[in-house]
Structure 1
Amino acid sequence: MPRFNPVTDIPDLTGRVALVTGTNSGIGFQTVLQLANHGAKVYLTTRSEAKALDTIRRLEEVNPALKDSGRLQWLVLELSLVTNAKAAAEEFLKRESRLDILINNAAHLASEFELSKEGLSTVFAADHVSPFVFTTTLLPLMEATAKLPGADVRIITVASSQHFKALPTTKFDSIDDFRDKQCAPGANVNGMNAKFARYAHAKLANILFAKELQKRLDAAGVPILSISLHPGNIATEGAERVIRSLGGGIFWPVLNWVLLTSAQGAITQLFAATSSEVRREADKYKGQYLVPYGSVGQPSDIARREGLPEDLWVLTDKVAAEILEKGSI
């Protein structure tokens, strides 16, 4: 049984502002529901206004008390382009004077290789570079919030145990690493192995980002907690689409029976984002990689490689700056 029950263990979040990406379904939807149920004003992000309004309607159906409460707000965020992520973050900054909880939950799952018009692998852009820009643009507001009386500011990055499958040759010292096909020359770039290798590559970047962010926050004396996590193996709509696209549809009913539900999958990120234990034992949790249901896990050897988090940060910062200045790289 989970040691953290979101329904009973999330503290009162009245007066807090939270932002959760990727909320149309799955664990993002469940995360927004619990944060709002406990009093937070929650911005949910989807890729269109129509999806956002539909998500809010469904949340209000689950809990009618949320209707007209002002606790559900929305923001359009399309992570395939870095410029979109920057614009969305700047729009949020126009609307709010504080941000207590940021949960980078949205993810582009294993898919065919494609370069964005900005010159990046679409999976790596959506899962790492755009969230990096989104987060760092919001960071000054979160730093200001952390100075307020009684503040408890946290940045949660949803990674995956799939990061263990990242190639041992992984490095981050060239722009080419951000559009790497993650397969051997001549291999099928859209084969199952390559698709999952690209996803693993991006999820590894999530863990490295969270770790380096914490290091930089600590160095600056900012009491924000940065945590990455694996939410568990979950029966989400996105997971079903991937399995069926790979020809495994016949196995989905069995997988659906053994995988976690979305509500169970949301527990670890809700623990990381709200648990009083995490703040009380900050040195135990900050910069760490959590696994269900809120335990400190051991990431892969590559994720623990000395210097790799900083290499990724420096390269991402450089690539993002060039895209924002020139439109592509």
Structure 2
Amino acid sequence: MPRFNPVTDIPDLTGRVAIVTGANSGLGYQTAQQLANHGATVYLTTRSEAKALDTIRRLEEANPGLKGEGRLHWLLLDLSSVAKAKKAAEEFLQREKRLDLLINNAGQLAGDFELTSEGLSTIMVANHVAPFVFATTLLPLLEATAKLPGTDVRIITVASIESSEPPPTTKFDSFDDFQNKCGSDSNVNGNTAKFARFRQAKLANVLFAKELQRRLDAAGVPILSISIHPGSVGTEGAKNLIRGFGVGFLWPLVSRIMLSPAQGAITQLFAATSPEVRREADKYKGQYLVPYGTVGQPSAVARREGLSGQLWELTERAVAEIVQKGSV
């Protein structure tokens, strides 16, 4: 099959409404750009108004046809807490009557261990718990949109190849799993522990998409939920990560063998817009896709019977406790 080309292969998206989280740079920017260029109304989520307005300016400079169209909007979304993620989703619900595409693109790369004020690890909150809250708060609108004639509603979650090697002890049956240091106190910020936490959080992305699809199917809702690995992409985040490990001098060499952000966005754009994905829904829904739009094999842990359901239920319990008490 020829590689999906977003410029020529994305169908007309006029009338459809999309949210792209983390849209100010990298994969998010490229995704928002292609959706807008093909007619969608796109909400760009960023952590500040200044970043959002700058992103809109750059998109309009790249495609002057977007100016004055009123199809580029911004939404403040801070994935550092459950409360902030819920607030952003509720604001969107006040502003729009439909939602066709949700691209869960924003996340956090491997870093030092820290707990949020709500009592969960920052990397698990940014990559899974807050996006879970954002998506599930929007789910009633997504479901309502899916009932309209001629719609094609999809939820795409950006995971990572790192999800394929999570800690084998991962179980997602207590809040400890959302506070996991993945190492001893003395080595909590060593590279091994940092990447173990990241892998566990990205595993949660794959499990979330899988379980969401199971629940949608059980309810008879024709929404597609898909997780993807974009490839090894030379984003600013990747550059900062390499610098953080003290080997920034290798970036010029490493970046040559990585995908560009435009190439990295191909798989999520394929999952979000390709008519083939809807035509062959049974092949793609609930799956984990790898470049470029191929159904991949998630890790043995991700395939463990019942684990996706355990994660969903644990996340719901954590969110309920945070909403009620402010922390777990």
Counterpart in 1 of 2:45?
45
The residue correspondences of 1:51-200 to structure 2 (distance < 5 A) are 51-183=51-183, 185-200=184-199
Task: Report SS of the residue matched to 2:302.
Answer: helix
The residue correspondences of 1:1-329 to structure 2 (distance < 5 A) are 3-183=3-183, 185-329=184-328
Rounded Cα–Cα distance in structure 2 between residues aligned with 1:63 and 1:239: 27
Rounded Cα–Cα distance in structure 2 between residues aligned with 1:57 and 1:97: 26
Task: Report SS of the residue matched to 1:268.
Answer: helix
Rounded Cα–Cα distance in structure 2 between residues aligned with 1:325 and 1:14: 40
RMSD between aligned alpha carbons? 0.9
Say if 1:229 and 1:291, in contact at 8 Å, map to a contact too: yes
Task: Report SS of the residue matched to 1:303.
Answer: coil
Identity level (%)? 72
Task: Report SS of the residue matched to 2:132.
Answer: helix
Rounded Cα–Cα distance in structure 1 between residues aligned with 2:106 and 2:210: 19
How far the C-alpha of 1:69 sits from its partner, in A, is 1.1
Q: Which amino acid aligns with 2:114?
A: E
The structure 1 segments of at least 4 consecutive aligned residues displaced by more than 4 Å after TM superposition are none
Rounded Cα–Cα distance in structure 1 between residues aligned with 2:69 and 2:185: 56
Rounded Cα–Cα distance in structure 2 between residues aligned with 1:88 and 1:158: 19
How far the C-alpha of 1:293 sits from its partner, in A, is 0.5
Task: Report SS of the residue matched to 1:304.
Answer: coil
Q: Which moved more, 1:27-36 or 1:53-62?
A: 53-62
Say if 1:229 and 1:289, in contact at 8 Å, map to a contact too: yes
Rounded Cα–Cα distance in structure 1 between residues aligned with 2:136 and 2:112: 28
TM-score by length of 2: 0.99
Task: Report SS of the residue matched to 2:298.
Answer: coil
How far the C-alpha of 1:158 sits from its partner, in A, is 0.3
Task: Report SS of the residue matched to 1:39.
Answer: coil
Rounded Cα–Cα distance in structure 2 between residues aligned with 1:228 and 1:187: 34
Say if 1:2 and 1:293, in contact at 8 Å, map to a contact too: no
Rounded Cα–Cα distance in structure 1 between residues aligned with 2:186 and 2:174: 22
Rounded Cα–Cα distance in structure 2 between residues aligned with 1:59 and 1:316: 35
TM-score by length of 1: 0.98
Q: Which amino acid aligns with 1:94?
A: Q
How far the C-alpha of 1:2 sits from its partner, in A, is 6.1
Q: CA 1:2–1:262 in 2, change beyond 3 Å: closer, same or farther?
A: farther
Say if 1:11 and 1:38, in contact at 8 Å, map to a contact too: yes
Task: Report SS of the residue matched to 2:221.
Answer: coil
Q: Which amino acid aligns with 1:282?
A: A
Equivalent residues, number: 328
Say if 1:113 and 1:195, in contact at 8 Å, map to a contact too: yes
1:96-135 Cα offsets, whole Å, 9 max, x none, are 0000000000011111000000000000001000000000
Q: Which amino acid aligns with 2:300?
A: D
Rounded Cα–Cα distance in structure 2 between residues aligned with 1:201 and 1:322: 22
Say if 1:81 and 1:116, in contact at 8 Å, map to a contact too: yes
Rounded Cα–Cα distance in structure 2 between residues aligned with 1:304 and 1:27: 27
How far the C-alpha of 1:165 sits from its partner, in A, is 2.3
Q: Which amino acid aligns with 1:284?
A: K
Rounded Cα–Cα distance in structure 2 between residues aligned with 1:153 and 1:276: 12
Rounded Cα–Cα distance in structure 1 between residues aligned with 2:320 and 2:233: 35
How far the C-alpha of 1:187 sits from its partner, in A, is 4.2
